[in-house]
Structure 1
Amino acid sequence: MNYLILNDLSQPEAPAQWRGFSDQVMGGLSQELVTLETIVGVRALRLRGAVRLDHGGGFVQIALPLAHTDQPLDGSSYSGIRLLVWGNGEQYRLHLRTSACYRPQQFYWTPFVAPAAWQQVDLPFSAFQPKGFDQPLNSYQLTRIGIVAYGRPFEADVAVAQVGLYLG
């Protein structure tokens, strides 16, 4: 199998299992707005918000749990994450958490640009860097994926219609 769809919001019956949150969980002032809407003819989950650095903040995020029945998702047969995204041309981050991530500040990340037209973006597992610890990414233990506007003051506007794992 060349591609495994994990979440396809472009389909009308697909549930929006994503959760939005911001740096307010740690005292920051960034604000997020998460909506399910149709953008340029494609149904998607849209994250908008003001990323602010005040009070130690600096992010807004949408996250999708990948672990089902308390078992991590085994992505080891695949090369990386594939997104169908749209945005405002800004750089965002894709965060992955695994069962090795015990603390909230531990995750793996790689940047991507969300263009102003729907585009498929492939992010190889080899591009992900650990944050908050030194363990290499184990793609056989995936527990959560997040799309994050991070680290600088700006207006976030990014949408995701599909998330999957790809071979290649």
Structure 2
Amino acid sequence: MKWILALVLGLMAAPGVAQEGDMRDYTPPALETWRYISDQVMGGVSEGQAEIAGPEGARHLRLTGTVSTANRGGFIQVRGDLLTPLPKGAQGVVVRVKGNGEGYFIHLRTRGTVLPWQYYQAPIPSGPEWQELRVPFTAFRASGAMLRDVPRAGDIKSLAAVAYGRDYEADLSFEWIGVY
């Protein structure tokens, strides 16, 4: 758990804020193509929803609900599948978030995450004001021993914003800006 706290604090520091002109040309999946998934697919009881929110020009995804670890569950998420691969030289993703102050995660799935419970995870903070974060691929931790230590940009198939791992009320507004 200490590494999670260290990563969250590191992401909140000034170097974690994206700088103008720092991102490569890459268009994330359209908001309309993202899908909501909960632990109910495996018998859990978490409930929530994901919706497109905000005015034209500032649209984003909003993930809300109740995360419950009852019945071996504990997550709700909104996931976007990549239509085109990330640039091979990409070092990480740039996201914009605000929320209810709870900790959340970004999950990546790659060509190597073939089982439903496999993913790469990096913590992200949330607060009442929008913040733009750079999350390097080196900050992501594999969910199991069968995966590479660090995901390769060209292998990434999807990205998800996730409320995970403990009982709480989730309210996260999220936008994937691009890669750097």
Q: What TM-score does the superposition give when structure 1 sets the normalisation length?
A: 0.85
Letter in 2 for 1:6: T
Letter in 2 for 1:53: T
Q: Which has the higher strand share?
A: 1
Contact kept? 1:67, 1:144, Cα under 8 Å: no
Deviation at 1:78, TM superposition (A): 1.6
| Mapping for residues 14-163 of structure 1, pairs under 5 Å | 15-38=31-54, 42-68=58-84, 73-132=85-144, 133-136=146-149, 137-163=151-177
CA RMSD of aligned residues (A): 1.9
Structure 1 residues 15, 152: closer, same or farther in 2, change over 3 A? closer
Contact kept? 2:104, 2:124, Cα under 8 Å: yes
Contact kept? 1:82, 1:123, Cα under 8 Å: yes
**Deviation per residue, 1:87-145 (Å, 9 max, x gap):** 11111010001111110111111101122111101100111111133323122211000
SS at match of 1:42: coil
Contact kept? 1:42, 1:161, Cα under 8 Å: no
Letter in 2 for 1:35: E
Distance 1:15 1:130 in 2: 26
Contact kept? 1:23, 1:29, Cα under 8 Å: yes
| Moved >6 Å (runs of 4+) | none
Contact kept? 1:98, 1:144, Cα under 8 Å: yes
Distance 1:159 1:5 in 2: 21
Gaps of 5+ in 1: 9-13
- Residue 15 of structure 2 is matched in structure 1 by none
SS at match of 1:16: helix
* Alignment coverage as a number of residue pairs: 156
Distance 1:123 1:98 in 2: 16
Q: What TM-score does the superposition give when structure 2 sets the normalisation length?
A: 0.80
Distance 1:67 1:98 in 2: 13
Letter in 1 for 2:28: N
Distance 1:106 1:67 in 2: 20
Structure 1 residues 123, 15: closer, same or farther in 2, change over 3 A? closer
